[in-house]
Structure 1
Amino acid sequence: MVASLAACQPSASSAVELGQSPAGLEQVPLTITSGGAKHRFTVEVASTGEQQAMGLMYRNRLDPDRGMIFPFDTVRQASFWMKNTLIPLDLIFIRPDGRIANIEANAVPLSLQPIYSDGEVTAVLEVAGGRAAELGVRPGDKVEWKR
């Protein structure tokens, strides 16, 4: 979504499928490798425009080992906002090589302020606010999930 806004709302390299989330989205394993440590998550895949527009809106909580991945069909500058998103989130922008471009930590719930990627990315990962810092995740770390 070049210069467009996606709402922040409702994978590891393993091929294990985890079925659908309560929101009806595919769930896959995702791993962030940071300084030799592997941090594993189960993420919902927001693959359609409608799913990406809804994202994690209206949710009251997000477990520390959960998240949502927004894969793009083309590499692009990404822009998100927190409209109707009730919980703080870390937005992790992922380059085509799977490396983290930048992280917007603790994005403010309900904010309409745009949050941009540093350059072109192929996906955005949303996890609970503060989780990236808690795990020591930083730009340059590797993100892998079933695409």
Structure 2
Amino acid sequence: MNTLSRSIFALSLAAAAFATHADDGQPKLPTIKLSTGMYVIQAEVAQTPEQREIGLMNRKNMGASEGMLFAFEDAGQQCFWMKNTLLPLSVAFVAEDGTIVNIDDMKPLTLDSHCSTKPVRFVLEMNQGWFAKRGIKAGEKLQGQPFAKR
């Protein structure tokens, strides 16, 4: 491949990457590494009210071990719905220390409420079935920087 062909190929790849990003309708947020047992998660962190409101809306895909962690200033009952969310998701409601309080599956494009059964500071959304496929249940702990003592 000559230099011109390589340049055109590189530009095509960059344009495709930008188009995919633009198709998702929003920029990716900063990510952190979380884990539970032997499983590692790369989670985008939604920590402002605007970031939490948008969440994963309009995203068309998400990697197998990727998710979004919603971080709230204080613990409380958190409820989520799937308005404008195209991906089927599983949601884990997580206490301040990383303990999973409850997990629920959510259908795309619905307004059904999915709520924590106890006050939580964090909510982790993953592709639907991610927790079940790995045998992860309520009572298990997530590890990572957000769950360190305040």
Per the normalisation by structure 1, the TM-score is 0.79
Identity of aligned residues (%): 37
Q: Which structure has the greater CA radius of gyration?
A: 2
Q: 1:142 aligns to what SS in structure 2? A: coil
Which has the larger share of strand? 1
Kindly state the Cα deviation for residue 145 of structure 1 after the two structures are TM-superposed: 2.3
5+ residue gaps, structure 2: 1-25
1:27 partnered with 2:31: yes
* 1:54-95 per-position Cα deviation (integer Å, ceiling 9, x unaligned): 000001111111000001100100000000000100000001
Q: 1:43 aligns to what SS in structure 2? A: strand
Which letter maps to 1:27? T
* 1:6-37 per-position Cα deviation (integer Å, ceiling 9, x unaligned): xxxxxxxxxxxxxxxx824111101123xxxx
Q: Which residue of 1 aligns with 2:10?
A: none
Per the normalisation by structure 2, the TM-score is 0.77
Which letter maps to 2:122? A
Which protein, 1 or 2, shows the higher relative CO under an 8 Å CA cutoff with sep ≥ 6? 1
Evaluate the alpha carbon distance shift between residue 128 and residue 23 of structure 1 in structure 2; reply closer, same or farther with a 3 A threshold: same
Which has the larger share of helix? 2
Alpha carbon RMSD of aligned pairs, Å?
A: 1.2
